[in-house]
Amino acid sequence: MTRRKSATKKSVAKLRPALNRSASTELDTLLARFRLLAALRRAWLEKLWSEEGAPSARTVISQGEIEANLADRDSPEAESLWLKKDDSARASLSSLAAIEASIANNESSRLAEINRVFALSNEESDLLQACLAVALDPSLARVCAYLQDHTGRNYVTEDLAARLFRFGRSSVWSAESSLFRWELISARDMGPGEPAALTCDPYIRDWLAGRSSLDALLVGVAHIQEPKSPLRSWALNESIDFIKQTIHGDPPERVRFIISGPRGSGRRTLAATISAAVGLPLLVIDAQQVDDQAWPRVFLRAQRQGYLERRAIAWTGEILTKRLWPNVPSFPLQFVITEPNQEPPPIRRSSKEKSRCRRSE
């Protein structure tokens, strides 16, 4: 329904007390926050639309709408003032403050973890929450369309999020944001003159919902390698001590641990055993199955999964001797499994990362 069908003085929405209910789970709380923000925005817009008057049946854009736009009646300042004066809005703001305090104080939540891992600002976390809400409850896509007064914009946009979270008229997020660099959310081009559609990445949605799964780009090329009892000849203590001292040092540094040996010599098992000894399960990825074009994104998604699920990563495949390590902050422990007398290209000099080579025999 467009505003022209709904905006009469009698139809202005009242904020319903049901929105004040307490949420029982983390996701319920996040959804409750988005719904309440949307309800506040809806109430304000419907107040404005009701004041425009009913449009003529023959007009596409009403005279009242033009007057409202020229008078800048939907300014952030005007909306903020109304929120402070309207009794129903003030009650909802009180409920919203309680919900937001609950989210901020829950330092053990998955949202808090993803904020820490990717160093998200408050504004970045807000945008992620908006995209997550629509991903968790697709019916909210219609709410997005209504709030943007455009049936085709049934998705989150930066401008919509800026008004929901009261950041002002336009976006406060840049292309350099961790949200986009780590592909936590994606921006889909919707054509000339249209704002980009922002969507939460499916793996991020599932992880925040407490479901562990393999990232879509890693399906078919990655698996979990289980550790086994080490052979006596492996003498692991030196390698384990080196890794612990490096990744837990002051300052901590990353380790790229190269394991060289012939096929069948237990290279992946050795990597899994060392990784388990430092408290990390191991995700093995066959780089040979990844083409050159997909390599940077697969590498990034692997690091993202490593950070969120606390998994070391082992790379296999002869192609690794020809590929540069992408310029992405890698998970602290990476293994590179090679054939004898092979080595991957050196790490970029700017990277705080140490390499150690060990032969598997």
Alpha carbon of 46 to those of 69, 140, 300: distances in Å? 14, 18, 44
At residue 272, the pLDDT reads 95
121 SS3 class: coil
Chain centroid to CA 218: 17
- Domain layout of the chain by residue ranges: 3-208, 216-359
Q: What is the mean pLDDT of residues 320-325?
A: 90
Q: Could you check whether the bond before residue 251 is cis, i.e. omega within 30 degrees of 0?
A: yes
Residues 6+ away with beta carbon under 8 Å from 279: none
Work out the pLDDT band at 341, boundaries 50, 70, 90.
confident
* Mean pLDDT score across all residues of the chain: 87
At residue 345, the pLDDT reads 84
pLDDT tens column, 157-181: 999 999 999 998 877 888 899 999 9
Work out the pLDDT band at 214, boundaries 50, 70, 90.
very high
At residue 120, the pLDDT reads 96
At residue 138, the pLDDT reads 96
At residue 12, the pLDDT reads 44
pLDDT tens column, 250-269: 899 999 999 988 888 889 99
At residue 171, the pLDDT reads 78
Percent of the chain exceeding pLDDT 70 equals: 86
pLDDT tens column, 271-280: 999 999 999 9
Q: 69 vs 131, which has greater pLDDT?
A: 131
CA–CA dist 178, 189 (Å, integer): 19
pLDDT tens column, 63-121: 777 887 887 788 999 999 999 999 999 999 999 999 999 999 999 999 999 999 999 99
At residue 59, the pLDDT reads 54
CA–CA dist 325, 299 (Å, integer): 9
Q: Which CATH class is domain 216-359?
A: alpha beta
